[in-house]
Amino acid sequence: MRLITVRTISIATLSALAGIGTAVALVKVSVTPGVSPGIEASPGTFTGRVTDVATGIALENAMVLLEGAGIGAVTSDEGRFILSNVPAGRHTVTLKSMGYAEKKYEVTVTQGQTTVTDLEMMMQPVRLRNVVITVESPDRSSR
């Protein structure tokens, strides 16, 4: 386990740094002296599987986004995803996939633990505006 200490001036900078070190198991952040006390956090992991709510079929290439943390993943061909170095606490997870309604879930990630949650999405027809299909025959000039 590696320990990295980062000194910053603001909580906004601290939030930006939360999604950076994917190989880091423990992050300790101290705010510049005189601004506010230090903050220590041990990230967790969020993993699971995304499926179609009606059929249970795994959804490949669905986007799993952790709002406000700058962390996201795309599901595998088995619908599986893993988000590493997730700050401990309650998060909103947004799912997006072509042909499916966007879905939001609330999840709680525990410090230093792996949270496993399977998620479902509901199919939604894609609405297209005007579609024009033009068919042209190949040029058949006689010579």
Q: How many CB atoms lie within 10 A of CB 128?
A: 6
Give the DSSP H/E element, type plus range, for residue 12: helix 11-17
User: Residue 22 has what pLDDT?
Assistant: 33
Please indicate whether residue 117 or residue 28 has the higher confidence score (pLDDT).
117
Q: Please say whether the beta carbons of 35 and 104 come within 8 A.
A: no
Claim to verify: residue 109 and residue 50 sit in the same structural domain? yes
Claim to verify: residue 118 and residue 90 sit in the same structural domain? yes
Q: Specify if 91 maps to a domain.
A: yes
96 DSSP β-pair partners: 63
Query: Which residues form the domain of 94?
Result: 43-125
Interval 9-33: pLDDT, tens: 444 444 445 444 433 334 444 444 4
**Domain count along the chain:** 2
Please give the model's pTM, rounded to 2 decimal places.
0.60
Q: Give percent of the chain above pLDDT 70.
A: 68
Interval 42-64: pLDDT, tens: 689 999 999 999 999 999 999 99
User: Residue 14 has what pLDDT?
Assistant: 47
- R_g of the chain, CA atoms, integer Å: 22
Claim to verify: residue 9 and residue 67 sit in the same structural domain? no
> Which CATH number goes with the domain that contains 90?
2.60.40.1120
